[in-house]
Chains A and B, each alone.
Chain A
């Protein structure tokens, strides 16, 4: 074992001690228990599931307690409106990257702050983004699990944590999120299955499973961002029985455009006849500017104006929360009434070989 390895190991131990679970848990309970008692509502309408999607302004937190404060205030805001399923955006847990010295003092996309490439250059050597994530990812994940487990339990809600980039059991880095139940336990984890080109360049890997998780609120799934660009993701999940498909997004497009946003969850909801919840990350972060509109969607036929849009955030760049009630019984009835034509001979002629024929 060389000196560098020993130093790295010791530093990781220090971070784990500094952000130890017990300390974080005590803090979360101190700030959230009273609010939770005040905020928890009885379900007003038993036939509806009230869901909330956050539009979060991205920040680089070098102190996890600040991150916890922020998450707690968002959760409280949604819970006092009666929400039982709360959804955070893609990259929500990346905000904790600031606990790593050298990164924590960077912020924004203005001239004075550094982008990820500059930070890597400053760190020197051959350090890559995946090296950083492999090192700090497990610490961030532990903080995230503690934070959202306590918040879920205290507020008695289901929380989709948003995503971070964490090493998997094979050592590769995945963009993944967690679903946590009102008992504070992890119900499921989902890895992103379709990447942005830039993630692929960074060396992030794709997951190869899409899960549907049975809860008291219905069957939930939570693929990630680009997964909503491909009909296959939603088709698989709908056929596995998903009622609600959650999509956390973080779209690095400074010039927000409604039409390009429409290429994601809205279309997939129409193709698959499920409810869709989109949570969006917005703002500047390490050289990227994220825009997007959180929203809640349904099949066209289930919305009064036949738009398929139940509610959307009013801006693409400010912090907001959107809340709506979803009627799963109505969804089931609607789905049962749809007479879907199928064509087995067609797909037998093309699957799977056609998917291996991409000519680029």
Chain B
């Protein structure tokens, strides 16, 4: 896992590298299916997933909701599976040791079975620190025929600069993995949902303790909830507070059950994303002069009981 395969850009603040030419270059498929699969993966994982994904023939991006970290044998299994089914698949976060340093790392396999994108967690909370993890310092983006892909993992989900940097580097779809206190839906909305809304990309979020959600800008989602899937009851979406909607007691679309696997799925349409970015160009109205005048310390250093700096 030390090498990165595929067409991956480790961006260094843009303007310097190939990131400038990224947007839509080489994007051939503007719409595709994406799904998050949750279930008991303890036994016979490969067979279960194969069976499930064969029933979702159009599914291109697959995220698994499973425990963090996986061994080499499992990595080989995912590699074989993605090659066989011709999908992009992320089993989530694994722990990667580089020298003496241990990183929480998101992995994405491509349809050729390669580890196509790796992203180290960028913000390390106290719990991560106690477990010996250190923070990464670069953002990686994978260029695919389905748009530009990036990761937001763990604590990073609540650090809006991560989504901002990804968006400014041209990301279209974010793969997110996190954990929250069970049922803390407001906390969940303060994370990836908020990053999607202020940056205008799609996101597939696997949340232990929360809901598995596929997000998009409010304007292009049912009832303008910012959630593409699952789709709940309209009354709850428009008549209750968001935490009540996220209970999804009246789900009408976007969830399927295959034996003991629960699949949250949605169709992701990059044309619609392009439309909303053009009609409501949020990033265009950023104010870099203000940010530079304020200084990076004011913009990026969270004060309080400030802690680690890698």
Contacts and interface: CB of A to CB of B under 8 A. Distances in A.
Same complex:
yes
Interface stretch (A14-22, A112-120, A172-180, A331-339): A331-339
Nearest to B302: A340
Interface string A341-359: 1111111111111111111
Interface in B248-307: 277-278, 280-294, 296-307
A81 B187 CA distance: 32
A258 to B, nearest CB: 7
Contacts of B219: 260
B288 A341 contact: no
B190 A349 contact: no
A219 interface: no
Interface in A53-75: none
A236 B287 CA distance: 12
Given A263-B197, A300-B190, A345-B137, A208 B289 contact: yes
B198 interface: yes
A346 B284 CA distance: 23
Interface stretch (B42-50, B64-72, B157-165, B205-213): B157-165
B158 to A, nearest CB: 7
Contacts of A309: 241
A342 B291 contact: no
Given A300-B190, A338-B304, A358 B284 contact: yes
A206 B305 CA distance: 33
A232 to B, nearest CB: 6
Interface residues of B, number: 81
B218 interface: yes
Given A270-B194, A358-B286, A360-B284, A351 B307 contact: no
Given A306-B184, A355-B291, A342 B301 contact: yes
B125 A339 contact: yes
B4 interface: no
A352 B290 CA distance: 11
B275 to A, nearest CB: 12
Interface stretch (B15-23, B33-41, B93-101, B105-113): B15-23
Given A226-B285, A340-B304, A360-B283, A240 B123 contact: no
Interface in B193-234: 194, 197-198, 218-219, 223-226
B114 interface: no
A240 B161 CA distance: 18
- The residue in A273, A341, A356 that gathers the most chain B C-beta atoms within 10 A of its C-beta is A341
Given A208-B290, A358-B168, A341 B299 contact: no
Interface string B172-195: 000000000000101101100010
A260 B196 CA distance: 12
A352 B296 contact: yes
A125 to B, nearest CB: 30
Contact of A342 (B16, B226, B300): B300
Given A349-B12, A360-B281, A354 B169 contact: yes
B77 interface: no
A239 B303 contact: yes
Interface string A203-233: 0001111100000000000000010011110
B139 interface: yes
B170 A230 contact: no
B279 to A, nearest CB: 8
Contact of B305 (A229, A259, A340): A340
A306 B186 contact: yes
Interface stretch (A151-159, A163-171, A191-199): A191-199
A257 interface: yes
B303 A206 contact: no
B242 interface: yes
Contacts of A306: 184, 186-187
A196 B125 CA distance: 35
Contacts of B285: 194-197, 200, 226
B287 A208 contact: yes
B308 interface: yes
Contacts of B197: 263, 267
B136 to A, nearest CB: 8
Contacts of A229: 198, 282
B290 A342 contact: no
A137 interface: no
Interface of B: 12-16, 19-20, 22-23, 122-126, 129, 135-139, 155, 158-161, 164-165, 168-170, 184, 186-187, 189-190, 194, 197-198, 218-219, 223-226, 237-238, 241-243, 277-278, 280-294, 296-310
25 contacts: A197-B281, A230-B282, A231-B198, A239-B298, A257-B238, A260-B224, A337-B304, A338-B302, A341-B124, A341-B302, A342-B123, A342-B302, A342-B309, A344-B300, A344-B310, A346-B138, A349-B13, A349-B138, A351-B291, A352-B291, A354-B14, A354-B15, A354-B169, A357-B19, A360-B284
Given A259-B223, A259-B242, A263-B198, 10 more contacts: A239-B297, A259-B237, A260-B218, A263-B197, A339-B307, A340-B305, A343-B137, A346-B122, A348-B296, A355-B291
